């Protein structure tokens, strides 16, 4: 029933590890996003895909690699995790590009030890 679902909800791991976060939307939307929210609640867009095609790729370390196997899924893989990667990562979707509102998942809280 959940519109935008992300897994896992919590991720605790060691520095240097590789991890993935998965996102799925059942709204039939064409566009999906990944955001990073820091401890001060500042929200920064990382990537956006429209119909499986990358359309926004902000200044993000290349240790972060998004993958969209189909337009309902957008996964985020992170290599060689660093302490500064600790944050809450949100997936979102919208019907398309332009002035549409976005629907957010509940977030994945990533903690690096």
Partner 1 sequence: GNSVTQMEGPVTLSEEAFLTINCTYTATGYPSLFWYVQYPGEGLQLLLKATKADDKGSNKGFEATYRKETTSFHLEKGSVQVSDSAVYFCARSANTGNQFYFGTGTSLTVIP
**Would you give the DSSP letter of residue 52?**
T
Output the six-digit token pair for 46. 């990382």
- Does 70 engage in binding with partner 1 (CB under 8 A)? no
The residue from 1, 28, 41, 69 that contacts partner 1 (CB under 8 A) is 41
β-partners of residue 78 are: 19, 64
User: CA 100, 35, 74, 2 torsion: positive or negative?
Assistant: negative
Single out the segment in contact with partner 1 by CB under 8 A; choices: 17-25, 66-74, 75-83, 101-109: 101-109
- Least distance CB 26 / partner 1 (angstroms): 15
Q: For partner 1, which residue of 21, 25, 46, 50 counts as binding (CB under 8 A)?
A: 50
């Amino acid at each position: 029933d959940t519109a935008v679902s992300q897994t896992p909800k919590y991720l605790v791991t060691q520095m240097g590890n590789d991890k993935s976060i998965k996102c799925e939307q059942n709204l039939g939307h064409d566009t999906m996003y990944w955001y990073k929210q820091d401890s001060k609640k500042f929200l920064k867009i990382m990537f956006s895909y429209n119909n499986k095609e990358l359309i926004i790729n902000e200044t993000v370390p290349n240790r972060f690699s998004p993958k969209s196997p189909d337009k309902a899924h957008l996964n985020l893989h992170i290599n060689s995790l660093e302490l500064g990667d600790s944050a809450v990562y949100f997936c979102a979707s919208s019907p398309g590009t332009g002035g549409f509102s976005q629907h957010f998942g509940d977030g994945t809280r990533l903690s690096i030890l």
